Structure 1
Amino acid sequence: MQPLRGVKVVDLSTLLPGPLCTLLLAEAGADVIKIERPAGDEMRGYEPKSGPDSVNFGLLNRGKKSVALDLKNATDREAALALIDEADIVVEQFRPGVMSRLGLGYDEVAARNPRLVYCSITGYGQTGPKSSTAAHDLNYLAETGMLALSADSNGAPVLPPALIADIAGGTYPAIMNILLALRQRDQTGRGCHLDISMADNLFTFMYWALGNGWTGNGWPTPGGELVTGGTARYRVYRTLDGQYLAAAPLEDKFWQNFTRVIGAPELASTDGLDSAVQQRVAALIATQSAETWIERFAGVDACTVRVVGLEHAVSDPHFAQRGLFDHKVRLSGGDVISALPVPVAEVFRDKEKVKDAPLLVSGSPNFNI
């Protein structure tokens, strides 16, 4: 039996952080009803599409049910309240105060359903001077100091290829706290309101940088620290054929193996912090192709791999053997593709491998939560 079987979730969120949160709940067995605006979640319109809806939407909402309700309409609002009355969890992503103005805030719905776990995911939290500021992932990275720790060859911050704040700062803390709240409810009989701030949760990832700054060892700089390119032991190196190696032989035992393979065993006694050492290693790596280096590093514990594209990564035999892409989602256009890999252990997931992305049902829901 799945651990969240019988848990009822009303999802009032859009785009990424909330929908991914409720996807994880659904993958662990929860029954999720997604309430969308009459025109549907904005992500339904994103490209590429399969049928009328976005592929992205299908990946993030596999296995849920969906209904279109206008929360400004009294009849539709009552339909939403009826669903919330029977729910264990609500996930919402509006700016602070919006749900209360609609009569769907925590105080209002908890008075009717005191066991409800009510999770609010926002950029800056429910309180504070920035709580109502419009922003996106990149803004949160910029204002928490994370973006400044990355830099290109010209010293400009590098645009991250992943939505770090949305997922690592929003989705994952939301899941963690929802599960803690359910456990607490088992003990107290009451739910609670969870205030999840994507910006707040980014600071956790910079523990080392905060430690440096708070102890007077200097605030970190891009390209100057252990994990920002300040050592030859943690760098990306260009090879002769224009490809790249990601080398992370931080510990001495790995660094000794690394320097031996590249033909510079005399560097084994260095810490890699000297710019001359970094230049020497870069020059050596640039003399051979990526394929040659991978062959030389094969079977050697040196924490050095080739930088590959996503299309290569998804066909890697290692991930295939682990069944990472075995679950499927049937999109609104009928295409069946691999479902989004999620960090829910296989032992907790449904044995049914193929599940549908939800079609948008208009009007009062004709299904029970």
Structure 2
Amino acid sequence: MVQPLENILVLDFSTLLPGPMATLMLAEAGAEVIKFERPVTGEDARLTEPKIDGESIGFAVLNQGKRSVAIDLKSESAKAVLRPLLEKADVIVEQFRPGVMDRLGLGYDAVREINPGIIYCSITGYGQTGPKAAVAGHDLNYVGDAGILSLSRGPDDHPTMPFGLVADIGGGTYPAVVNILLALMARQKSGQGVHLDIAMSEGAFAFAYWAHAEGVVSGRNIESGGSRLTGGLARYRLYTAADGRQIAVGALEEKFWQAFCNVIGQPPELRDDWSDPEACSAEVGRRLGSKPSTHWEPLLAAADCCCTVVKTPAEASVDPNFAARGVFDRKLNIAGKEVQSLPLPIAPEFRSSRKTVGRAASLGESNEDYGAEQPDTQ
């Protein structure tokens, strides 16, 4: 079938993670993505470890299937290269601090004069306006400012780091893709483009919707690890088995909780984790810690009570369920070696049918195609 974003041209001025993952999703759905990078070194992600024969795995995973143009955006020659692309582009994704693209002559107002239908997506930490618009930050800062880092921060002497890049991906990449697609639909009706102001710190709020209801609307104080979804109840916690493997107990509903308690032999007087959560969780921890995860895993699976052994990334990549669904079937070529491609939340019906997605372009590989000077690699 025809891919939904076929014939959509995306100009990608973003770096590192949020923007590149967004344009990767668009490319997977059929868009043509041209990635613009600084000459000589390219974007910083090309330099990151680990590498295969000198090629960054992290960069390749996020930039497969895109074209690369190495260009100095401050140069006069850049205008001649970019003008025809700006005239026909559908989407621009940029990730500079507010005002940078304006100073380069590539801000929304300037591009809109050339192309009124342009969908211009700016991804920043704190948005295009406001007192913190120009403040530097990374994912850790954004989730901290959004209040969600405080919900499960661990002990003071060994704070717990977030397991995933919630603000970068959940607050940046996903809102960017969703709003770009909405803007494309709106343009079909109006013919007009739009400037999308994506703030990663704001996008992070949705990931703790319950904290908004409890800590903001209701005005209750939420202690670290004290809420029902951050370890405040015995039925929704991580426990360590005798072999050191963790068991994720997610038995929120009463029927699952009772089924779990039956498996581990939790005494009736210690099953009420609402009235005395600490005593209840201590006994659960003692019982799960008395035997290895290999003992508990089949019993918990048979009970179907939302309790599982925590897998490593390597174990997850060969999980039979994911294998049956073809999650890791698509392959990526890095320096001539075929590896698993990053699973993306794009329905198979909207992606190309080929199993090998391709590779990340070498720096400036497409310069000649767009009339740009060949990049200096020295």
- Please tell me the TM-score bracket, short chain as reference: over 0.9
Separation in 1 of the partners of 2:291 and 2:70?
58
Separation in 1 of the partners of 2:217 and 2:49?
47
Compute the displacement of 1:164 (Å).
Answer: 1.3
Q: Is the contact made by 2:297 and 2:309 (CA closer than 8 Å) also made in structure 1?
A: yes
Compute the displacement of 1:268 (Å).
Answer: 8.1
1:241 matched to 2:243? The reply is yes
Residue 119 of structure 2 aligns with which residue? 117
Residue 10 of structure 1 aligns with which residue? 11
Compute the displacement of 1:365 (Å).
Answer: 4.2
Structure 1 vs Structure 2 CA RMSD: 1.7
1:292 matched to 2:292? The reply is no
Q: Is the contact made by 1:6 and 1:31 (CA closer than 8 Å) also made in structure 2?
A: yes
Which of the residues 125, 128, 145 maps onto 2:130? 128
| 2:303 counterpart SS class | coil
C-alpha distance after superposition, 1:245-272 (max 9, x if no partner): 1101000110110111111251586244
| Counterpart residue type for residue 280 of structure 1 | E
| Counterpart residue type for residue 276 of structure 1 | A
| Counterpart residue type for residue 29 of structure 1 | G
1:277 matched to 2:254? The reply is no
| 2:339 counterpart SS class | strand
| Counterpart residue type for residue 290 of structure 1 | S
Separation in 2 of the partners of 1:261 and 1:70?
64
If the length of structure 1 is used for normalisation, what is the TM-score? 0.95
Q: 1:128 to 1:317 in 2, by over 3 A?
A: same
**Greater Cα shift, 82-91 or 114-123:** 82-91
1:32 matched to 2:33? The reply is yes
| 1:9 counterpart SS class | strand
| Counterpart residue type for residue 18 of structure 1 | G
**Greater Cα shift, 357-366 or 116-125:** 357-366
C-alpha distance after superposition, 1:323-369 (max 9, x if no partner): 111111212x212211111000001000122212111227954159x
Compute the displacement of 1:315 (Å).
Answer: 1.1
**Taking every aligned residue pair, what percent have the same amino acid on both sides?**
47
Q: 1:327 to 1:362 in 2, by over 3 A?
A: closer
1:203 matched to 2:217? The reply is no
- What is the total number of aligned residue pairs between the two structures? 367
* 1:174-185 correspondence to structure 2 within 5 Å: 174-185=176-187
Compute the displacement of 1:127 (Å).
Answer: 0.4
| Counterpart residue type for residue 186 of structure 2 | Q
Q: Is the contact made by 1:44 and 1:53 (CA closer than 8 Å) also made in structure 2?
A: yes
Separation in 2 of the partners of 1:172 and 1:327?
21
Residue 255 of structure 2 aligns with which residue? 253
* 1:69-84 correspondence to structure 2 within 5 Å: 69-84=71-86
Compute the displacement of 1:295 (Å).
Answer: 2.2
Q: Is the contact made by 1:233 and 1:272 (CA closer than 8 Å) also made in structure 2?
A: no
1:308 matched to 2:320? The reply is no
Which of the residues 333, 347, 350 maps onto 1:348? 350
C-alpha distance after superposition, 1:24-66 (max 9, x if no partner): 0000000101011113111111111223431111100111111
Unaligned residue ranges in structure 1 (runs of 5+): none
Q: Is the contact made by 1:13 and 1:92 (CA closer than 8 Å) also made in structure 2?
A: yes
Residue 22 of structure 2 aligns with which residue? 21
If the length of structure 2 is used for normalisation, what is the TM-score? 0.93
C-alpha distance after superposition, 1:154-196 (max 9, x if no partner): 4754111321111001000000000000000001001100000
1:150 matched to 2:152? The reply is yes
Separation in 1 of the partners of 2:162 and 2:102?
35
Which of the residues 187, 194, 198 maps onto 2:196? 194
| 1:118 counterpart SS class | strand
* 1:326-337 correspondence to structure 2 within 5 Å: 326-331=329-334, 333-337=335-339
Unaligned residue ranges in structure 2 (runs of 5+): 372-378
Q: 1:149 to 1:258 in 2, by over 3 A?
A: same
C-alpha distance after superposition, 1:120-178 (max 9, x if no partner): 00000000111101111111111111111113244754111321111001000000000
1:318 matched to 2:314? The reply is no
Q: Is the contact made by 2:271 and 2:280 (CA closer than 8 Å) also made in structure 1?
A: no
Residue 170 of structure 1 aligns with which residue? 172
Separation in 2 of the partners of 1:304 and 1:155?
29
Separation in 1 of the partners of 2:173 and 2:65?
18
| 1:361 counterpart SS class | coil
| 2:302 counterpart SS class | coil
Q: 1:326 to 1:363 in 2, by over 3 A?
A: closer
Separation in 1 of the partners of 2:221 and 2:185?
39
